[in-house]
Amino acid sequence: MSPTPMLQLESLTTTFPGERGPVPVVDDLSLTLTRGEVLALVGESGCGKSVTALSILRLVPRPGRIERGRVLFGGRDLRTLPVAQMRAVRGAEIAMIFQEPMTSLNPVLGVGAQVVEAIALHQPLPRQAAWQHAQQLLALTGIPDPVGRMRNYPHQLSGGMKQRVMIAMAIATRPALLIADEPTTALDVTIQAQILELLRELRQQLGTAVLLITHDLGVVNELADRVAVMYAGRMVELGPREQVLSEPRHPYTQGLLRAMPARARRGQRLTEIPGVVPAPQHWPAGCRFATRCPLAQALCHEVVPATTALSPTHEVACHAVARADWPMPRAGSQRLSLPHGPGAGPSGPSGPAGPAGPAGPSRSPRSLQQAERGAASDARPAQAGPAAAAALGRETGAPLLRVEELRTWFPIRSGMLQRSVGWIKAVDGVDLICPAGRTVALVGESGCGKTTVGRSILGLERARAGRVYFDGVDLLALSPRQLLPYRRALQIVFQDPMASLDPRMRARDIVAEGMISFRIGANDRERTERVAELMRRVQLDPDQMGRYPHEFSGGQRQRLCIARALAVGPRLLICDEATSALDVSIQAQILNLLRQLQDELQLSFLFITHDLGVVRYLADRIAVMYLGQVVEEGSTERIFEAPQHPYTRALLAAIPAIDPARRQARARVRGDVPSPARPPPGCRFHPRCSEAQARCPIEAPPLFPWADGRSRCFLAAQPPHGGPAADQPVRSTSDGRGSAPPGRTLVVRAKLAVEGGARPLDLEPAGTLFERPRKQRAPLRLLAQRHMNVAQLREHLRASHLLLAGGELEQERA
């Protein structure tokens, strides 16, 4: 890293008009980026990260404008550069990729044309040459079959592919600086790992500096050299990655790190940052974090803290850090815990006014307790630790919910009469057990069918087959009338609290609606009392029950959703990505609330999520889903410590590390999830599996019992030679491969979707490819599995989408 500053922001201030004059969304921000480094800009939503990035390129949407400051880049001030020159900088010297690859590409232009445009705008190349250059760029970003993909439209590509196209456009003219605005936020974790790896590789190959904007500290750790933390338009901490992540000094940075469930120990309350990031027009004078800060003193509310340099590279804007006489234990390490508890209750301007401490069950009026069947919490000592509760649950853990062989298929209709010509097997044989009073997590990437499982259990989606036993009664066999009492016992909380609340209903009516349906409460007055009680329980101010959903913040809305679900006294709460749309500090608040409710009300949770950090913190058991099936299931410890299924391992490997000593996110699976309309034969994971054996594409593995759970992989089955029983630790990868039968070499002529490269390539399950084709339809030397003849090889390559359309496979010689 050379010390030459390449980009220098000096007192950058970007404003948006407000009711009382312009509001600085980015306020007096100074920042330096040196050649080739990766600087991460971190903060929760609404902190001005994206506006900072857009200000650099002068792309701030109207009516926002850059009020003051300089953006020095290559000796010029971009802020005052003539428009034509600015256009020459955009894309050529500074390129940008965005969060939403789905909407950031022009839907009606071909992918190739869009990459070509990025080239042609800055390099006068003949059309043919630009087209070829674009192909090379797509190949460089790891898109299989770049030649064919050039003519595709964006909607024909998966999310990960689209982000690769965005990256290809961005690096088209080898920019010196790449601004990546949440480049992986919209992607699944395994795809995120692939993109992070790509960005890492490109940075090494091209030496591009990256301004990485993200809210995910894991992604920061994986990619960044330095970290700048933003809060409410100002930079609060800046320093090298290791220091900021391991020894954060600003209370906001500390709070962000502590709120991450992945860092917390199970059973421990997450340390929340109380309240929410206020809207820009309500940003306080003085230190903007003061309203949420556990260390704040009178001074903080009045005086803007100056930047203190802790070392030449590490600076913090905080009075507590600057003043040695600050009344607090000096937080040298983030492990040194700061005082928290009742004193750290929410005090933000729009935060709930109630105390953060647990709402004691003894305060509940009788009506509430009646509705909360099985409210054993009264009998338990209030101080009973979660560990004790867990032990209790383990012993009495009779399954409250048992799902067997659940199948929910959606018809694919086609032709003149719209007959169903096939099925999208969204859920295809799912087994699940949910013990009473426990949390089971259903984990998987988008499209795996986890949401459909939740909806099918509730009867919101009609299951085609299977049984859903609740308390021993098969819900799927009940008539709608018979089902009614069970609807009360099973409730759901959705991902998007704004979309799932009726915008024209007041909070009170939203919460009370279920009570009316189930005739809870004798009259309106009683129900209103109960609504107030529920709102207190989810730590909302009952005085706000007359408000409409839009008057609440995102976290408060999710509390309202929880109150609505609790209103009818459920025993099982299905949380479908209930915290995924929330910022990490708000997520911590909701997770704490859910845990507390579970303890108090003996609720069972089915937690549907893609976020393994949340799962590790919250769940007792985990079921991992892939393409409509549960591929592995077991206790949280077992899944995290000894995952058996290669997919589970890939998922775990893909999580960005938050330990600054390690960078671990590795893409262990190739490509995208196949369509559930045509799941691969045999084991559904085999085309992406790095450990597939000869039998995997032919035989579908059942769920083998393994340790305290089950795994749908032959690797988890009893070893063939009577080796140690199933309780042995995880077998290494090579063991699995060693048992594969030796192959024979087939020389074939085919057109394959494989990436270029030097190493031999596994073409699971067909065999190993020694030389990669330089030309299309060139003969390939393939070490095929012994049992396969050319016809089978062709079939398998086609099933795994490796054989390209129109590329027939013919044998040259054996």
Partner 1 sequence: MLTYVVRRLLHGCVVVLGVLLFLFLLFFTLTDPDDIARRALGEKALPAVIAQWKANHGYDRPLWPWRGGRDSMLVEHYRRMLTFDFGRSDTDDAPIVDRLRHGVGPSLALTVPMFVIGLLLSIVLALFVAFFRETYIDRMGVLLAVLAMSLSVLLYIIGAQYVIGKLLRWFPISGFDADPRVAWRFLALPVLVGVAASLGGDVRFYRTVFVEETGRDYVRTARAKGCGEGRIMWVHVLRNAMIPILTHVVLAVPFLFTGSLLLESFFGIPGLGSLTVDAINGNDFSTLRTMVYLGSLLFVGGQILTDISYALVDPRVRLS
Query: Which CB atom, from 183 or from 278, has the smaller least distance to partner 1?
Result: 183
Is residue 81 involved in binding partner 1 (CB under 8 A)? no
Q: Which residue has the tokens 């040259």?
A: 812
Q: How far apart are CA 315 and CA 507, in angstroms?
A: 44
Binding of partner 1 by 493 (CB under 8 A): no
Query: Is residue 65 part of the contact set for partner 1 (CB under 8 A)?
Result: no
List the one residue from 82, 107, 327, 720 that touches partner 1 (CB under 8 A): 107
Q: Does 117 bind partner 1 (CB under 8 A)?
A: yes
Q: How far is the CB of 202 from partner 1 (least distance, A)?
A: 17
Question: Considering the rule CB under 8 A, would residue 95 count as an interface residue with partner 1?
Answer: yes
By CB under 8 A, tell whether 82 contacts partner 1: no
Q: How far is the CB of 650 from partner 1 (least distance, A)?
A: 30
Out of 3, 21, 108, 332, point to the residue binding partner 1 (CB under 8 A): 108
Cα(755)–Cα(739) distance, rounded to whole angstroms? Answer: 27
| Interface with partner 1, residue 92, by CB under 8 A | yes
The answer to whether residue 104 forms part of the interface with partner 1 (CB under 8 A) is yes
Asked whether position 16 contacts partner 1 by CB under 8 A, the answer is no
153 part of the interface to partner 1, by CB under 8 A: yes
Across the strands, what pairs with 309? 315
Q: Which residues contact 747 (CB under 8 A, 6 or more apart)?
A: 779, 780, 781, 782, 811, 812, 813, 814
437-466 residues near partner 1, rule: CB under 8 A: none
From first CA to last CA, the distance across the chain in angstroms is: 53
Site string for partner 1, 703-742 (x = CB under 8 A): ----------------------------------------
Residue among 750, 778, 776 at smallest CA distance from 763: 750
Pick one of 105, 560, 754, 802: the residue that binds partner 1 (CB under 8 A). Answer: 105
Closer CB to partner 1, 57 or 716, in the complex: 57
109 binds partner 1 (CB under 8 A): yes
- What lies within 8 Å, CB to CB, of 774 at 6+ separation is none
Tokens representing 192?
């995120």
Name which position in 43, 48, 64, 91 contacts partner 1 (CB under 8 A).
Answer: 91
The SS3 of residue 450 is helix
Q: Name the residue nearer to partner 1 (CB basis): 117 or 197.
A: 117
Nearer to partner 1, 324 or 416 (CB): 416
Number of Cβ atoms within 10 Å of the Cβ of 1: 11
Q: Does 155 bind partner 1 (CB under 8 A)?
A: yes
Site for partner 1 in 393-422 (CB under 8 A): 414-416
> What is the closest distance, in whole angstroms, from the C-beta atom of residue 14 to partner 1 in the complex?
16
CA distance 615 to 640: 10
- Using CB under 8 A as the binding rule, the residues of this chain from 165 to 224 that contact partner 1 are 166, 169
Beta bridge partners of 196: none
Residue 180 C-beta: closest distance to partner 1, Å: 12
Q: What is the DSSP string of 10-32?
A: EEEEEEEEETTEEEEEEEEEEEE
Closer to partner 1 by Cβ: residue 155 or 462: 155
What are the CB-based long-range contacts (under 8 Å, 24+) for 407-411?
407/463, 407/464, 407/465, 407/466, 408/449, 408/452, 408/453, 408/455, 408/456, 408/461, 408/462, 408/463, 408/464, 409/464
Helix (H, G, I), strand (E, B) or coil at 166: helix
Q: Give the HSE-up count for residue 111: Cα atoms under 13 Å, Cβ half-sphere.
A: 29
- Interface with partner 1, residue 62, by CB under 8 A: yes
Report the distance separating Cα 577 and Cα 520, nearest Å: 28
Residue 82 C-beta: closest distance to partner 1, Å:
13
d(CA 157, CA 612): 26
The distance of closest approach from Cβ of residue 62 to partner 1 in the complex, given in angstroms and rounded to an integer, is 6
Q: Which is nearer to partner 1, 73 or 706 (CB)?
A: 73
Residue 90 as a binder of partner 1 (CB under 8 A): the answer is yes
Q: Is 426 in the site for partner 1 (CB under 8 A)?
A: no
Instruction: Give 185 or 350: the residue with its C-beta nearer to partner 1.
Output: 185
Which of the stretches 82-90, 335-343, 621-629, 653-661 binds partner 1 when contact is defined by CB under 8 A? Answer: 82-90
Q: Which stretch binds partner 1 (CB under 8 A): 115-123, 321-329, 434-442, 566-574?
A: 115-123
Q: CB under 8 A: which stretch of 40-48, 87-95, 372-380, 565-573 binds partner 1?
A: 87-95
- Which span (31-39, 97-105, 401-409, 613-621) binds partner 1, by CB under 8 A? 97-105
CB of 58 to partner 1, least distance (A): 9
* Closer to partner 1 by Cβ: residue 121 or 677: 121
Beta carbon nearer to partner 1, 121 or 390: 121
209 near 37, Cβ under 8 Å?
Answer: yes
Answer yes or no whether residue 85 interacts with partner 1 by CB under 8 A: no
Which stretch of DSSP H or E encloses residue 140? helix 127-140
Which residue, 103 or 204, has its beta carbon nearer to partner 1?
103
- Least distance from partner 1 to the Cβ atom of residue 226, Å: 23
Distance CA 210, CA 178 (A): 5
The least distance separating partner 1 from the CB of residue 225, rounded to whole angstroms, comes to: 23
In the sheet where 38-42 sits, what is the strand order?
94-97, 177-181, 209-214, 38-42, 226-231, 234-240, 314-317, 307-311
Contacts of 404 (CB under 8 A, 6+ apart): 431, 466, 467, 468, 469
Nearer to partner 1, 119 or 442 (CB): 119
* C-alpha to C-alpha distance for 520 and 580, rounded to whole angstroms: 31
Q: What share of the chain is helix, strand, coil (3-state, %, to 5)?
A: 35, 25, 45
Longest dimension (CA), the chain: 85
Q: Which is nearer to partner 1, 96 or 195 (CB)?
A: 96
Binding piece for partner 1, criterion CB under 8 A, among 55-63, 441-449, 467-475, 623-631: 55-63
List the one residue out of 759, 761, 809 whose CA is nearest residue 788.
809
Q: Six-digit token pair at 338? A: 């700061």
Q: Give how many residues touch partner 1 by CB under 8 A.
A: 33
Tell me the closest approach of the beta carbon of residue 537 to partner 1, in angstroms: 40
Which one of residues 16, 73, 98, 607 is an interface residue with partner 1 (CB under 8 A)?
98
- Residue 179 corresponds to which amino acid? I
- Binding residues for partner 1 (CB under 8 A): 57, 59, 61-63, 87-92, 95-96, 98, 100, 103-109, 117-118, 121-122, 153, 155, 166, 169, 414-416
